[in-house]
């Protein structure tokens, strides 16, 4: 039946349809009525859904409240206490919250960052050492772990379980035990120098040579003298250290710790990459090969983009682990020779437990936390999935156009 000449057609009422023409469709009045009728139950249901969700949220908080309490007591509260201690001059012999300790504000931080002195020099030396450690360990261990995962994941390799166990075994072995073994291997008369001597190379003094690797190599080529700094580099500096010190590279002893870190951590990240590789559809790689791509092109354009989230995870874990290195330094060198293996984590330990300056130790820990957060954010920006951002922008634009139409 037509109404008001608008051409509205009464739709047949289906089962359960409410009376009163709720099923009508029209270009004007009928369409408006129909739309309003359709929205009514949705709004009512929305209020009921929100009430249900509110109860669900209450029950959810009730179930997770024990873990929230535990995290608050054993994580957030100690962090807040450590932050307060970093503003004190406290020797650990009194209650830091009773007023017995001297409140110095940000002096502990200024001593480490801006005020010339031994504290600043030691902290910047540890930052330099740890920076070289990070720049060498993270890329090498990531590339090695990915290469091992690709090799183990290959269809041509037999005995994959054996290789996974062999590669992962150093990661589950005690770090103290492995550090002790490396300490004997890299002694002056150890097995490593014996092998080098067998091929005609005189091995270095691994744990007593304080020269940087860069100046040692350039000195071997006759370009510079490692014992005589270049005046232009020695006269100018940055953050309390001369450019000669900043550009010296890791010491020979630090290179030993770097080798240890790469060997012990690559197996763990290999398993992470291996699990991600097994989730990549084989049809994608086969399609790329059928389109004329070689193995490297297929890996670079198909497999590697699929591993981007896992790559971000591995690099993040690598950054956190390398900036917190302590056990190998404690066992193998304790900062020697000449503080060339000193790291912020070990410096924080010595400041607190040897020098009884817990305020400075806590300040070093928070500065280390800030460095880790900044580097994590930087690598997050560098490894972000630009294609995913573009796809999300296009999807959002399509949804907006759909709503306006």
Encode pLDDT of 107-147 as tens digits: 999 999 988 889 999 999 999 999 999 999 999 999 999 99
Query: How large is the angle between the packed helices 308-323 and 358-382, nearest 10 degrees?
Result: 160
**Cβ(241)–Cβ(124) under 8 Å?**
yes
Distance CA 120, CA 111 (A): 6
Percent of the chain with pLDDT over 70: 81
Give the mean pLDDT of 365-386: 86
pLDDT band (50, 70, 90) for residue 343:
very high
Coil, strand, or helix at residue 300? helix
> Among candidates 298, 341, 319, 279, which has minimal Cα distance to 141?
319
pLDDT tens profile 212-242: 899 888 988 888 888 888 888 888 888 888 9
Q: Which residues of 344-368 are buried (b: 16+ CB within 10 A; e: fewer)?
A: bbbbbbbbbeeeebbbbbbbbbbbb
Distance CA 403, CA 324 (A): 50
pLDDT band (50, 70, 90) for residue 302:
confident
Position 238 scores a pLDDT of 86
**Cβ(206)–Cβ(188) under 8 Å?**
yes
Backbone angles phi, psi at 198, to 5 degrees: -65, -30
Give the mean pLDDT of 23-41: 43
**DSSP strand pairing (241-242 vs 237-238):** antiparallel
Strand partners, 234: none
Backbone angles phi, psi at 330, to 5 degrees: -65, -40
Q: How many CB atoms lie within 10 A of CB 93?
A: 9
Q: Where are the alpha helices (DSSP H) in 86-158?
A: 107-113, 118-153
**Cβ(263)–Cβ(170) under 8 Å?**
yes
Q: What is the mean pLDDT of the chain?
A: 81
**Range scoring the smallest mean pLDDT among 188-197, 291-300, 328-337, 348-357:** 291-300
Position 54 scores a pLDDT of 58
| Alpha carbon distance, N-terminus to C-terminus of the chain | 29
Give the mean pLDDT of 191-205: 87
Distance CA 42, CA 252 (A): 71
Report CA-CA distances (Å) from 279 to 16, 179, 215, 276, 306. 47, 35, 45, 5, 9
pLDDT band (50, 70, 90) for residue 403:
low
Distance CA 401, CA 392 (A): 14
Q: Where are the alpha helices (DSSP H) in 186-279?
A: 191-198, 213-220, 231-234, 243-246, 252-277
Distance CA 305, CA 158 (A): 27
pLDDT tens profile 10-23: 444 444 444 444 44
pLDDT band (50, 70, 90) for residue 57:
confident
Question: What's the gap between Cα 129 and its chain centre?
Answer: 19
- Residue whose entry in the numeric block shows the structure tokens 């830091």: 96
């Amino acid at each position: 039946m037509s109404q008001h000449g608008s051409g509205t057609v009464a739709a047949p009422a289906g089962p359960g349809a409410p009376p009163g023409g709720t099923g009508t469709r029209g270009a004007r009045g009928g369409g408006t009525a129909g739309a309003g009728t359709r929205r009514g139950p949705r709004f009512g249901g929305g209020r009921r859904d929100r009430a249900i969700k509110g109860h669900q949220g209450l029950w959810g908080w009730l179930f997770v409240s024990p873990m929230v309490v535990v995290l608050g007591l054993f994580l957030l509260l100690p962090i807040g206490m450590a932050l307060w201690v970093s503003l004190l001059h406290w020797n650990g012999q009194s209650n830091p919250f009773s007023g017995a300790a001297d409140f110095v504000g940000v002096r502990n931080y200024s001593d480490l960052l801006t005020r010339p002195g031994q504290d600043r020099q030691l902290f910047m030396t540890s930052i330099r050492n740890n920076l070289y450690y990070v720049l060498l360990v993270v890329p090498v261990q990531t590339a090695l772990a990915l290469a091992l995962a690709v090799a183990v994941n290959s269809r041509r390799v037999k005995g994959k379980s054996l290789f996974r166990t062999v590669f992962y075994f150093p990661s589950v072995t005690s770090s103290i035990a492995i550090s002790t073994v490396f300490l004997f291997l890299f002694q002056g008369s150890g097995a490593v120098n014996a092998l080098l001597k067998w091929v005609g190379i005189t091995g270095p003094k691994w744990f007593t040579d304080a020269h940087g690797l860069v100046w040692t190599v350039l000195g071997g080529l006759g370009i510079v003298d490692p014992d005589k700094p270049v005046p232009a580099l020695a006269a100018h500096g940055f953050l309390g250290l001369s450019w000669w010190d900043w550009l010296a590279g890791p010491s020979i002893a630090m290179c030993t710790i770097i080798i240890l870190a790469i060997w012990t951590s690559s197996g763990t990240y290999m398993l992470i990459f291996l699990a991600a590789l097994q989730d990549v559809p084989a049809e994608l790689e086969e399609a790329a090969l059928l389109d004329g791509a070689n193995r490297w092109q297929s890996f670079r354009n198909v497999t590697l983009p699929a591993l981007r989230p896992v790559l971000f995870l591995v690099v993040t874990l690598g950054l956190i682990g390398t900036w917190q290195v302590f056990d190998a330094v404690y066992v193998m060198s304790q900062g020697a020779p000449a503080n060339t293996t000193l790291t912020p984590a070990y410096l924080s330990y010595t400041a607190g437990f040897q020098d009884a300056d817990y305020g400075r130790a806590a300040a070093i820990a928070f500065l280390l936390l800030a460095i880790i957060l900044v580097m994590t954010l930087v690598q997050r920006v560098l490894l972000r999935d630009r294609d995913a951002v573009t796809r999300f922008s296009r999807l959002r634009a399509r949804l907006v156009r759909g709503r306006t139409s």
